Structure 1
Amino acid sequence: MDCRKNDNLERCNCTYKPCPRKGLCCECIAYHKGKGQLPACLFPDDIERSWDRSVAKFIEAYNEGR
């Protein structure tokens, strides 16, 4: 499967600048899944900036109507 890194980068809202997985969605998802987290792209921008990628934070954000 071809990775469309440049296309993915246009939509990536991850603010962690040194991340080596930016634009490589399959690597990003695998990395965060292995840590029991979710990737930045599933969070609203203001919540993403906290770098809290926990499932609990995701549920909290969407229970607040975000």
Structure 2
Amino acid sequence: MECKKEKNLESCSCTYYSCSRKGVCCDCIRYHLESRQLPGCCFSAEAESTYDRSFEHFARLVGEGKI
């Protein structure tokens, strides 16, 4: 399967600009799931900028109706 990194970068909302996985979604998802996290694209811009990508943070935001 062909990686669509350049196309993915057009909509990648991750603010960690030096990340080697930016635009390579399969690597990004694998990395974050191994750490019990979700990638930045699962969060609002405000929530993503906290760099707290934990499942718990995501669940809290869903419970508050912010996602």
- Structures share a fold, TM > 0.5? yes
Give the equivalent residue in structure 1 for 2:11. 11
Give the equivalent residue in structure 2 for 1:63. 63
SS in 2 for 1:11: coil
Which segments of structure 1 move beyond 6 Å, counting only runs of 4 or more? none
- Residue by residue over 1:19-58, the C-alpha shift from the partner in whole angstroms, topping out at 9 and shown as x without a partner, is 0000000000000011111111111110000000100000
Counterpart Cα distance in 2 of 1:43 and 1:16: 14
Q: Percent identity?
A: 48
Give the equivalent residue in structure 1 for 2:46. 46
Count of equivalent residues: 66
Report the TM-score, using the length of structure 1 for normalisation. 0.94
How much does 1:61 deviate?
1.0
Counterpart Cα distance in 1 of 2:8 and 2:27: 12
Gaps of at least 5 residues in structure 2 are none
Aligned-pair Cα RMSD in Å: 0.7
How much does 1:6 deviate?
1.0
How much does 1:9 deviate?
0.6
Counterpart Cα distance in 1 of 2:62 and 2:45: 13
